Structure 1
Amino acid sequence: MRRNRLGRSTVEVTELGCGGGPLGGLFASLDDETAAATLAAAWDAGIRYFDTSPHYGIGHSERRVGAFLRHMPRAEFILSTKVGRLLVPQDAAGRVDEFHVPATHRRVWDFSRDGVLRSVEDSLARMGVDRVDTLFLHDAEEHFDAALRTGYPALAELREQGVVGAIGAGMWHTGMLTRLVRETDVDAVMLSGHYTLIQHGALDDLLPACAERGVSVLAASVFNSGLLATPRPTEAATFDYAPASPEILRRAHRVADVCEAHGVTLPQAAMAFPLRHPVVAGVVVGMRSPEEVERNAALFAADVPDSLWDDLRAEGLIDERA
């Protein structure tokens, strides 16, 4: 599988990455055995970029990713995690976390230098590894000033010391990510949505800024939380974690019509679309089973003809700048 460098760093990610949200129990509970089998299937499929976060399952995702990767050749894979939330132990009292795991910890926002350093230390301990390759400020939309003022300098310090190879932020707000790209020296940003087959907002600000500054983009949520994950979305499909509107559904079906005329499915096109932009280094897809890994790897490997993009553009279904 092809690898691309993140910005001006030496970190190179495979074009398909394994997202750790489902491994932490996102949307549904997951046992350790299935998580391990999922990670093994990802490795067998050629995936060598693994992304996780303390937020995912209040540590479950990091623990599971680390349990697998620490037995693999360290030079062969790239591992990223995130900072911004510290996990504080608490009595679960029978409660279940939003990630479908016992609520044994609570999240505390902290983008201070001390908070970032403690978060990294805690993550390394949970994963049982001696280093991560990339660190991202995570979900900083409501804490952006602190993330910019103290969080970013702490990451830059760790990069300068050689503790990590690349730094950036993982968010959905393109305006804030654009400001981060223009005002700092990040290597990469992980964008949730906003540059997908039917969502092109990042072309207005973030992608041009990344091109100017030599910053890479990792495209996450390329299926828009479900809408583009099947050849034809149903009326119950979700778009950005909410019920899809009739207008969005109609647009997705129009895109599917053009895809089918070219012998391509909607999810195949959704996987291929972001990587056509020169600043996009990879797509990161959450996976929760070996079957999902095999399906996504097959979708990713599909041959998508250039004529599809020409016809989608001619129909006004993808932005002329895409």
Structure 2
Amino acid sequence: MRVTQKNLLNHRTKTPVPLTAMGFGAASLGNLYRAMTDAQARETVDAALNAGVGYFDTAPFYGLGLSEERIGKALAPHKDVVISTKVGRLLHDCPPAQATPEMYVDVPSRKITFDYTYDGIMRSFASSLNRLGSARPQILLLHDIDAGTHGKEKSDAHLRDLFDRGGYAALSELRENGDIAAIGAGVNDWKICEQLLGEADFDCFLLAGRYTLLEQEALDSFLPLCEARDVGIILGGPYNSGILATGAVAGARYNYEPAPPHILAKVQSIADICAAHNVPLIAAALQFVMGHPAIRSVIPGAANPAEIASNLAVFQTAIPAGLWSDLKSAGLVRADAPCPKE
């Protein structure tokens, strides 16, 4: 069985940008936490393609360019797939002692600077095109412009660069010229997405981890606004960085930190109801997000073909409607959260 398709829109032209409902988050191809070979990266992408995945998300940050390079080589022959990449970080070759790989291992010796001005956006885009080769991105996302990444003072300065120093004008120009089909932002905070929508015209947002079985505050205002304006959401981090995949086990991580006791207890309660319906917790977590009409694609990561197969299996697990109603009755999921149909 192959994954289904939904569309983003370029709001200037009303041109659809097709996304498969399950996409591929390519941070792992940048050697996230552990190294893989180029051959292993190609095998993983090929497995996703064979499963019917037609949307791939990458970024300069992922492996300091390594993910983009591997995505470019693997997808060059596949002109019918959609690729998104990101702008905001510039990569500079440097001596190893000055490199900023963060959580990526065995990657090129490069350091990062942030730049959301007109020149920074254009330079970042040109560099991404060089790394991607003949595989061309259709979606361009501002990467990590939120206060959670930079702190409020620096985030505000980056927003001034975006709107007062030409950053948004660069995005708009690329979209108007047809270099990019859709523009948006890839962030970990729905509030900055709502703020961006109040300032300018965006087609989509890649929202990581802020609408899940554990977090539904985005229902208050942001997701209804996206639905009203037909702004598509690509959902990353559906497992809140792990705990909704592993369950409430020792060492479980919630939003990249050790899960606190109240989160462990809530996850265990959700898992108990899932078990009563013979549904794996991970399947409920992955499918729940697709119940909201604003969400066009969910992009779980994968580091090998076996994880691609596992993602596809849990995405296609049959889930009875009674599971969602029981979670709502127990107060574990908001009553106003749209859920997938049985």
Count residues with an aligned counterpart: 319
Q: Distance in 1 between matches of 2:85 and 2:107?
A: 22
CA contact (8 A) 1:51 1:80 kept: yes
Tell me if 1:138 matches 2:143: yes
Aligned to 1:84: 88
Please tell me the residue identity of whatever aligns with 1:112.
T
Please identify, of 102-111 and 248-257, the stretch whose mean Cα deviation from structure 2 is larger.
102-111
The separation in 2 between residues aligned to 1:313 and 1:273, in whole angstroms, is: 12
Instruction: Find the counterpart in structure 1 of residue 149 from structure 2.
Output: none
CA contact (8 A) 1:94 1:102 kept: no
Structure 2 Cα separation of the partners of residues 154 and 94 of structure 1: 29
Give the Å deviation of 1:95.
6.6
Q: CA deviation at 1:174?
A: 1.4
Which of 31, 53, 73 matches 1:25? 31
2:8 paired residue number:
6
Which runs of structure 2 are paired with 1:145-294 in the superposition (5 Å)?
145-149=160-164, 150-230=166-246, 232-294=247-309
Residues 95, 10 of structure 1: alpha-carbon distance in 2 compared, 3 angstrom cutoff: closer
- Identify if the C-alpha distance between structure 1 residues 130 and 291 changes in structure 2 by more than 3 Å, giving closer, same or farther: closer
What is the Cα deviation at residue 32 of structure 1?
Answer: 1.2
Q: 1:130 to 1:66 in 2, by over 3 A?
A: closer
User: What TM-score results when the alignment is normalised by the length of structure 1?
Assistant: 0.95
SS class of match (2:296): strand
Name the CA shift for 1:50/1:62 in 2 (closer, same or farther; >3 Å): same
Matched, 1:306 2:321: yes
Q: What 5-or-longer segments of structure 2 have no aligned partner?
A: 147-154, 338-342
Q: Secondary structure at the match of 1:159?
A: helix
Identity %: 39
**2:69 maps to which residue?**
63
Distance in 2 (alpha carbons) for counterparts of 1:293 and 1:41:
7
**CA contact 1:182–1:209 (8 Å) conserved in 2:** no
Contact 1:5-1:281 within 8 A present in 2 as well = yes
Distance 2:183 2:320 in 1: 34
- The CA RMSD over aligned residues, in Å, is 1.5
Q: How does 1:80-119 map to 2 (within 5 A)?
A: 80-93=84-97, 97-98=101-102, 99-102=104-107, 104-119=109-124
1:135 aligns to what SS in structure 2? strand
Deviation string, structure 1 residues 119-149 (Cα, Å, up to 9, x no partner): 1111111111263110000000133332344
Contact 1:144–1:176 (CA under 8 A) maintained in structure 2: no
Amino acid at match of 2:144: D
Question: Structure 1 residues 188, 96: CA separation in 2 closer, same or farther (over 3 Å shift)?
Answer: closer
Q: Is the 8 A contact 1:174 1:205 kept in 2?
A: no
Deviation at 1:320, TM superposition (A): 1.3
Task: Tell me the CA shift for residue 215 of structure 1.
Answer: 0.5
Q: Secondary structure at 2:96's aligned position in 1?
A: coil
TM-score (norm 2): 0.90
Partners of 2:98 and 2:110 within 8 A in 1: no
- Provide the rounded CA distance (Å) in 2 between the counterparts of 1:27 and 1:130: 26
The answer (yes or no) to whether the contact 1:140–1:147 under 8 Å persists in 2 is: no
